[in-house]
Amino acid sequence: MDTQLLIICGLTFVIHVIATLAYAVRIAGVRTRRVALSFSLFGIIALVSRTANSFQGPFIAKRVELDIARHMEHGLLGDFRLFLLAATVASIVGTFLIPTFQRYFSRAVDHFQANRSISRLLLHIFSRGGVNYIRTGARLPSRHNVTQLTAGAGVSWKVIGLNVLAMAIWTVGVFASLYAGYLKPDLRVTCANLSSVINGFATVVLAVVIDPQVSVMTDDVIEGRISENSFRRAITTLAGARVLDTLCAQAALVPAALVIVRVAELI
């Protein structure tokens, strides 16, 4: 594995770990009863994901350009499969980190609420007490949280299905458009720019269908209409579905790239 390939896999891993940990923020918001503050603080962490995302596309694009220019034809499909595998591994790791992250994040929310300062929060994280809590606060998912999924998903199968569809499209969007450019070099710029159309569709589904449903559940927990166990079960289900999202993206990579090539030829 060359350095460039390793960097792209690392960026993909970071993007998908942070995206999965976003589910833990809702649990932390419910526990602390400070949902707005939780999302505001998570926005700082999300900046890391956005930065990684901004570098990921150009790195992959350069890899495609060099392969086309050198007529290497060693098959970039294997590289794209590896990128999606990194996304799958990241989703699995992120799911297992949710119990630990929500503990850390809940403590961070409480600390910020008391001190109202990002600089003090950062100093606390790297202080002796903060480091000790990081060491002692780590938790694996409890067996109860896993076995209780047999009692129900906590969210409708329609929402789960739409979430899998939207996130699979979001995951494969950039990869498929860049791979389409590799398949059709004379239209590679057009293919690359179609990624925004693909991701736009996924974003609409998430914004219109998924996020409102989860937000309503979050408010219902805070108001006592549903139990925290039901809410955690729903979040665990959606986080676990992210792994299925990436597997679906693997299956959709080549068909999606071929569709993008066709669309690029028609427009």
* Total Cβ atoms within 10 A of residue 190: 18
Rounded (10°) CA dihedral 28, 172, 248, 89: -50
DSSP 60-116: HHHHHHHHHHTT--S-THHHHHHHHHHHHHHHHHHHHHHHHHHHHHHHHHHHHHHH-
Q: Which amino acid is at 22?
A: A
Average pLDDT over residues 82-111: 92
Asked whether the predicted pLDDT for residue 148 surpasses 80, the reply is no
The total number of structural domains in the chain stands at: 1
Full-model pTM: 0.88
pLDDT band at residue 147, thresholds of 50, 70 and 90? low
The arithmetic mean of pLDDT across residues 2-10, rounded, is: 90
| 229 vs 145 pLDDT, higher one | 229
Q: What is the pLDDT of residues 123-137, one digit of tens each?
A: 888 888 888 888 887
Question: How confident is the model over 209-249, as pLDDT tens digits?
Answer: 788 888 888 888 888 888 888 888 888 888 888 899 999 99
Per-residue pLDDT band for 261 (boundaries 50, 70, 90) equals very high
Cα distances (angstroms) measured from residue 64 to each of 75, 231, 253, 258: 10, 43, 16, 16
Residues 48-72: what's their mean pLDDT?
Answer: 84
Question: pLDDT band at residue 73, thresholds of 50, 70 and 90?
Answer: low
Domain that holds residue 83: 3-266
The per-residue pLDDT of the chain, averaged, comes to 86
d(CA 83, CA 143): 31
Check pLDDT > 90 for residue 3: no
